[in-house]
Amino acid sequence: MTVNASDAPAVAHFRFFTLDVLRTRRVGHSFLRVTFGGESLADFRSGGYDQSLSLFLPPPGREHTVLPSTDEDTWFAAWRGMPDEERPVMRSYTVREQRRTAGGVDEVDIDFVLHGDTSPASHWAGRAVTGRRILAIGPAVAENKSVRFQPPAAADAIWMYADETALPAAAAILDRLPAGTRVRAWFEVPHEDDRLDLPTLAEADITWIVRESAGRERTDRVLGALRSAGPAAAEAPYVWLAGEAGTIRAVRRHFVQERSVDRRSVRFTGYWRLGATEEELLAEAYAGQAPSEDPGSEL
Protein backbone atom coordinates (compact mmCIF):
# COMPACT_ATOMS: atom_id res chain seq x y z
CA MET A 1 0.00 0.00 0.00
CA THR A 2 2.09 3.09 0.94
CA VAL A 3 3.95 5.04 3.60
CA ASN A 4 2.24 5.23 6.94
CA ALA A 5 3.51 8.03 9.20
CA SER A 6 3.51 6.03 12.42
CA ASP A 7 6.03 5.50 15.16
CA ALA A 8 9.27 3.70 14.32
CA PRO A 9 8.35 0.02 14.69
CA ALA A 10 9.28 -1.54 18.02
CA VAL A 11 10.37 -5.16 17.94
CA ALA A 12 8.31 -6.36 20.91
CA HIS A 13 5.07 -7.70 19.52
CA PHE A 14 6.92 -7.38 16.24
CA ARG A 15 10.06 -8.99 14.83
CA PHE A 16 12.10 -9.16 11.68
CA PHE A 17 11.03 -11.54 8.92
CA THR A 18 12.83 -12.57 5.75
CA LEU A 19 10.50 -12.37 2.74
CA ASP A 20 11.30 -14.09 -0.55
CA VAL A 21 9.42 -13.06 -3.69
CA LEU A 22 7.52 -16.11 -4.96
CA ARG A 23 5.49 -14.53 -7.75
CA THR A 24 3.79 -11.32 -8.90
CA ARG A 25 0.42 -10.63 -10.52
CA ARG A 26 -1.29 -7.51 -11.86
CA VAL A 27 -4.68 -7.11 -10.20
CA GLY A 28 -5.64 -3.78 -11.79
CA HIS A 29 -4.24 -1.01 -13.93
CA SER A 30 -2.35 0.44 -10.96
CA PHE A 31 -1.94 -2.57 -8.66
CA LEU A 32 0.67 -5.30 -8.51
CA ARG A 33 0.31 -8.15 -6.02
CA VAL A 34 3.59 -9.53 -4.75
CA THR A 35 3.38 -12.91 -3.02
CA PHE A 36 6.12 -13.55 -0.48
CA GLY A 37 7.25 -16.75 1.17
CA GLY A 38 10.03 -17.78 3.49
CA GLU A 39 10.60 -20.10 6.43
CA SER A 40 10.32 -17.27 8.97
CA LEU A 41 6.69 -16.66 7.95
CA ALA A 42 5.72 -19.68 10.05
CA ASP A 43 5.92 -17.25 12.99
CA PHE A 44 4.10 -14.37 11.23
CA ARG A 45 0.81 -13.58 13.00
CA SER A 46 -1.31 -11.12 11.05
CA GLY A 47 -4.24 -9.70 12.97
CA GLY A 48 -6.07 -9.24 9.67
CA TYR A 49 -8.15 -6.22 8.66
CA ASP A 50 -5.73 -3.32 8.06
CA GLN A 51 -2.68 -5.05 9.53
CA SER A 52 0.44 -3.08 8.62
CA LEU A 53 4.10 -4.02 8.51
CA SER A 54 7.33 -2.23 7.60
CA LEU A 55 9.19 -3.35 4.49
CA PHE A 56 12.89 -2.71 3.92
CA LEU A 57 13.46 -2.44 0.17
CA PRO A 58 16.98 -2.56 -1.30
CA PRO A 59 18.40 0.56 -2.95
CA PRO A 60 18.63 0.67 -6.77
CA GLY A 61 21.16 -1.78 -8.14
CA ARG A 62 20.83 -4.24 -5.23
CA GLU A 63 18.83 -7.48 -5.52
CA HIS A 64 18.38 -8.21 -1.83
CA THR A 65 17.94 -6.23 1.38
CA VAL A 66 20.91 -6.17 3.75
CA LEU A 67 20.82 -4.57 7.21
CA PRO A 68 23.78 -4.24 9.58
CA SER A 69 21.62 -5.31 12.54
CA THR A 70 18.22 -6.87 13.19
CA ASP A 71 18.66 -6.74 16.96
CA GLU A 72 15.73 -5.22 18.86
CA ASP A 73 17.89 -2.60 20.56
CA THR A 74 20.30 -1.65 17.78
CA TRP A 75 18.61 -2.08 14.39
CA PHE A 76 17.15 1.41 14.12
CA ALA A 77 20.35 3.31 14.88
CA ALA A 78 22.32 0.95 12.64
CA TRP A 79 19.88 1.43 9.77
CA ARG A 80 19.82 5.21 10.14
CA GLY A 81 23.61 5.25 10.24
CA MET A 82 24.03 3.54 6.88
CA PRO A 83 25.30 5.63 3.93
CA ASP A 84 22.40 7.05 1.90
CA GLU A 85 23.31 5.04 -1.19
CA GLU A 86 23.34 1.77 0.79
CA ARG A 87 20.43 2.27 3.18
CA PRO A 88 17.34 0.18 2.38
CA VAL A 89 14.15 2.19 2.04
CA MET A 90 11.63 1.56 4.83
CA ARG A 91 7.96 1.75 3.84
CA SER A 92 4.76 0.72 5.60
CA TYR A 93 2.30 -1.49 3.75
CA THR A 94 -0.74 -3.55 4.68
CA VAL A 95 -1.13 -7.30 4.47
CA ARG A 96 -3.64 -8.15 1.77
CA GLU A 97 -3.78 -11.81 2.79
CA GLN A 98 -1.86 -14.37 4.80
CA ARG A 99 -2.36 -18.11 4.25
CA ARG A 100 -0.81 -21.54 4.48
CA THR A 101 -1.08 -23.49 1.24
CA ALA A 102 -2.14 -27.13 0.97
CA GLY A 103 1.54 -27.92 0.56
CA GLY A 104 2.36 -26.34 3.92
CA VAL A 105 3.92 -23.16 2.49
CA ASP A 106 3.30 -19.90 4.36
CA GLU A 107 2.53 -16.98 2.04
CA VAL A 108 1.78 -13.28 2.44
CA ASP A 109 0.31 -11.08 -0.30
CA ILE A 110 1.11 -7.36 -0.43
CA ASP A 111 -0.42 -5.07 -3.07
CA PHE A 112 1.72 -2.24 -4.42
CA VAL A 113 0.45 0.82 -6.29
CA LEU A 114 2.51 1.22 -9.46
CA HIS A 115 3.30 4.72 -10.71
CA GLY A 116 6.55 4.23 -12.56
CA ASP A 117 9.85 5.12 -10.95
CA THR A 118 8.54 8.14 -9.07
CA SER A 119 8.90 6.37 -5.71
CA PRO A 120 11.35 3.75 -4.41
CA ALA A 121 8.57 1.26 -3.61
CA SER A 122 7.00 1.50 -7.06
CA HIS A 123 10.47 1.26 -8.62
CA TRP A 124 11.23 -1.91 -6.64
CA ALA A 125 7.83 -3.56 -7.16
CA GLY A 126 7.96 -2.98 -10.92
CA ARG A 127 11.17 -5.01 -11.02
CA ALA A 128 10.33 -7.66 -8.42
CA VAL A 129 11.12 -11.15 -9.68
CA THR A 130 11.08 -14.59 -8.09
CA GLY A 131 13.97 -15.06 -5.71
CA ARG A 132 14.44 -11.44 -4.66
CA ARG A 133 14.70 -11.14 -0.88
CA ILE A 134 13.72 -8.31 1.44
CA LEU A 135 13.36 -7.86 5.18
CA ALA A 136 10.29 -6.73 7.09
CA ILE A 137 9.21 -5.93 10.61
CA GLY A 138 5.88 -7.63 11.08
CA PRO A 139 3.59 -8.98 13.79
CA ALA A 140 4.64 -11.92 15.93
CA VAL A 141 1.28 -11.79 17.75
CA ALA A 142 -2.13 -11.23 16.20
CA GLU A 143 -3.26 -8.73 18.85
CA ASN A 144 -1.02 -5.78 17.97
CA LYS A 145 -1.24 -2.00 17.63
CA SER A 146 -0.77 -2.08 13.85
CA VAL A 147 -4.36 -3.25 13.33
CA ARG A 148 -6.22 0.05 13.42
CA PHE A 149 -9.66 -1.18 12.36
CA GLN A 150 -11.31 -1.73 15.75
CA PRO A 151 -15.09 -1.17 15.54
CA PRO A 152 -16.97 -1.33 18.85
CA ALA A 153 -19.53 -4.06 19.37
CA ALA A 154 -22.28 -1.42 19.39
CA ALA A 155 -21.55 -0.22 15.83
CA ASP A 156 -24.54 -0.82 13.57
CA ALA A 157 -22.81 0.09 10.30
CA ILE A 158 -19.34 0.57 8.83
CA TRP A 159 -18.59 3.62 6.69
CA MET A 160 -15.33 3.72 4.78
CA TYR A 161 -13.25 5.93 2.51
CA ALA A 162 -9.96 4.89 0.92
CA ASP A 163 -7.85 6.07 -1.98
CA GLU A 164 -5.74 3.64 -4.01
CA THR A 165 -2.97 3.57 -1.40
CA ALA A 166 -5.43 2.32 1.21
CA LEU A 167 -7.57 0.14 -1.06
CA PRO A 168 -5.65 -3.08 -0.20
CA ALA A 169 -6.37 -2.45 3.48
CA ALA A 170 -10.03 -1.71 2.74
CA ALA A 171 -10.27 -4.90 0.67
CA ALA A 172 -8.76 -6.94 3.50
CA ILE A 173 -11.28 -5.43 5.91
CA LEU A 174 -14.18 -6.33 3.62
CA ASP A 175 -12.79 -9.87 3.35
CA ARG A 176 -13.18 -10.39 7.09
CA LEU A 177 -16.47 -8.67 7.87
CA PRO A 178 -19.21 -11.10 8.92
CA ALA A 179 -22.33 -11.68 6.89
CA GLY A 180 -24.99 -9.05 7.40
CA THR A 181 -22.62 -6.21 8.29
CA ARG A 182 -23.91 -3.01 6.68
CA VAL A 183 -21.15 -1.16 4.82
CA ARG A 184 -21.19 2.13 2.91
CA ALA A 185 -17.88 2.73 1.18
CA TRP A 186 -16.30 5.28 -1.15
CA PHE A 187 -13.11 4.15 -2.91
CA GLU A 188 -11.02 6.55 -4.99
CA VAL A 189 -8.82 5.15 -7.78
CA PRO A 190 -6.84 6.64 -10.68
CA HIS A 191 -8.36 4.60 -13.54
CA GLU A 192 -11.59 2.86 -14.49
CA ASP A 193 -9.91 -0.55 -14.54
CA ASP A 194 -8.71 -0.08 -10.96
CA ARG A 195 -12.30 -0.81 -9.89
CA LEU A 196 -11.54 -4.18 -8.31
CA ASP A 197 -13.81 -7.07 -7.49
CA LEU A 198 -13.91 -7.02 -3.68
CA PRO A 199 -15.37 -10.24 -2.26
CA THR A 200 -17.22 -9.84 1.02
CA LEU A 201 -20.03 -11.40 3.01
CA ALA A 202 -21.05 -7.94 4.19
CA GLU A 203 -23.95 -6.01 2.71
CA ALA A 204 -21.65 -3.53 1.00
CA ASP A 205 -22.73 -0.50 -1.03
CA ILE A 206 -19.57 0.73 -2.78
CA THR A 207 -19.14 3.96 -4.76
CA TRP A 208 -16.08 4.20 -6.98
CA ILE A 209 -14.56 7.65 -7.48
CA VAL A 210 -12.43 7.58 -10.64
CA ARG A 211 -10.01 10.47 -11.05
CA GLU A 212 -9.27 10.09 -14.75
CA SER A 213 -12.87 10.90 -15.68
CA ALA A 214 -13.29 13.94 -13.46
CA GLY A 215 -11.73 17.38 -13.59
CA ARG A 216 -12.24 18.77 -10.10
CA GLU A 217 -9.51 19.00 -7.46
CA ARG A 218 -9.26 15.66 -5.68
CA THR A 219 -10.61 16.67 -2.26
CA ASP A 220 -13.57 18.52 -3.81
CA ARG A 221 -14.28 15.48 -5.98
CA VAL A 222 -14.34 13.15 -2.99
CA LEU A 223 -16.51 15.47 -0.91
CA GLY A 224 -18.87 15.87 -3.85
CA ALA A 225 -19.29 12.08 -4.05
CA LEU A 226 -19.96 11.86 -0.30
CA ARG A 227 -22.52 14.64 -0.34
CA SER A 228 -24.33 13.37 -3.42
CA ALA A 229 -24.80 10.00 -1.72
CA GLY A 230 -27.19 11.57 0.76
CA PRO A 231 -27.85 10.24 4.26
CA ALA A 232 -27.04 6.65 5.16
CA ALA A 233 -29.23 5.01 7.77
CA ALA A 234 -27.27 4.20 10.92
CA GLU A 235 -27.54 5.20 14.56
CA ALA A 236 -24.03 4.22 15.64
CA PRO A 237 -21.74 4.01 12.60
CA TYR A 238 -18.02 3.27 12.85
CA VAL A 239 -16.02 5.24 10.26
CA TRP A 240 -12.66 4.09 8.86
CA LEU A 241 -10.73 6.55 6.64
CA ALA A 242 -7.31 6.13 5.04
CA GLY A 243 -5.42 7.80 2.21
CA GLU A 244 -3.90 11.19 1.44
CA ALA A 245 -3.66 13.20 4.66
CA GLY A 246 -5.25 16.43 3.43
CA THR A 247 -8.21 14.62 1.90
CA ILE A 248 -8.60 12.49 5.03
CA ARG A 249 -8.86 15.62 7.18
CA ALA A 250 -11.59 17.01 4.94
CA VAL A 251 -13.48 13.71 4.82
CA ARG A 252 -13.28 13.31 8.59
CA ARG A 253 -14.65 16.85 9.00
CA HIS A 254 -17.51 15.93 6.65
CA PHE A 255 -18.54 12.92 8.73
CA VAL A 256 -18.24 14.72 12.08
CA GLN A 257 -19.73 18.09 11.13
CA GLU A 258 -22.11 17.27 8.29
CA ARG A 259 -23.23 13.77 9.28
CA SER A 260 -23.00 14.29 13.06
CA VAL A 261 -20.82 11.24 13.67
CA ASP A 262 -19.15 11.17 17.10
CA ARG A 263 -15.47 11.88 16.40
CA ARG A 264 -14.57 9.05 18.79
CA SER A 265 -16.14 6.67 16.26
CA VAL A 266 -13.90 7.84 13.39
CA ARG A 267 -10.60 6.05 12.82
CA PHE A 268 -8.41 7.93 10.37
CA THR A 269 -4.91 7.46 8.96
CA GLY A 270 -2.94 9.62 6.56
CA TYR A 271 -0.94 7.10 4.52
CA TRP A 272 0.75 9.89 2.56
CA ARG A 273 0.62 13.67 2.12
CA LEU A 274 0.45 15.61 -1.12
CA GLY A 275 3.62 17.70 -1.56
CA ALA A 276 5.66 15.76 1.01
CA THR A 277 8.18 13.03 0.35
CA GLU A 278 7.90 9.75 2.19
CA GLU A 279 11.23 10.49 3.88
CA GLU A 280 9.82 13.75 5.25
CA LEU A 281 6.82 11.92 6.68
CA LEU A 282 9.06 9.33 8.30
CA ALA A 283 11.27 12.04 9.78
CA GLU A 284 8.19 13.75 11.26
CA ALA A 285 7.05 10.47 12.77
CA TYR A 286 10.41 9.80 14.37
CA ALA A 287 10.51 13.35 15.74
CA GLY A 288 7.03 12.98 17.22
CA GLN A 289 5.56 15.57 14.84
CA ALA A 290 3.15 13.31 12.97
CA PRO A 291 -0.56 14.26 13.27
CA SER A 292 -2.44 12.38 15.95
CA GLU A 293 -4.64 9.47 14.84
CA ASP A 294 -6.46 9.45 18.15
CA PRO A 295 -10.19 9.32 17.35
CA GLY A 296 -10.84 11.87 20.09
CA SER A 297 -8.40 14.47 18.75
CA GLU A 298 -9.59 17.80 17.42
CA LEU A 299 -10.26 18.36 13.73
What confidence tens digit (pLDDT) does each residue in 9-64 have? Answer: 555 689 999 999 999 999 999 999 999 999 999 999 999 999 999 999 999 889 99
Domains located in the chain, CATH noted = 14-139 (2.40.30.10), 157-286 (3.40.50.80)
Give 259-289 pLDDT, tens digit per residue: 999 999 999 999 887 755 566 666 665 565 5
103 backbone dihedrals φ, ψ, rounded to 5°: -85, 5
Distance CA 39, CA 206 (A): 38
Cβ-contact 131, 35 below 8 angstroms: no
Picking from 111, 106, 129, 124, the residue whose alpha carbon sits closest to that of residue 51 is 111
- Centre a 10 Å sphere on the Cβ of residue 63 and count the other Cβ atoms it contains: 12
Which has the minimum average pLDDT: 97-111, 125-139, 203-217, 266-280? 266-280
Q: What is the mean pLDDT of residues 202-228?
A: 86
Q: Is the dihedral of CA 248, 253, 256, 259 positive or negative?
A: negative
Half-sphere exposure of 269 (CA within 13 A, CB side): 29
End-to-end CA, the chain? 25
To 5 degrees, how large is the angle CA 195–CA 199–CA 205? 65
The answer on pLDDT for 296 being more than 60 is no
- Per-residue confidence at 243, pLDDT binned at 50, 70, 90? very high
Against a cut of 0.75, is the pTM above it?
Answer: yes
What percent of the chain stands above pLDDT 70?
86
Strand order across the beta sheet in which 157-162 lies: 203-210, 182-189, 157-162, 237-244, 266-272
Print burial letters for 136-165: b (CB count within 10 Å at least 16), e (below 16): bbbbbeeebebbbbebeeebebbbbbbbbb
Q: Report the pLDDT value the prediction gives residue 5, as an integer from 0 to 100.
A: 43
Banded pLDDT at 119 (limits 50, 70, 90):
confident
Mean pLDDT of the chain: 89
- Chain centroid to Cα 19, Å, comes to 18
Nearest to 124 by CA among 137, 110, 108: 110
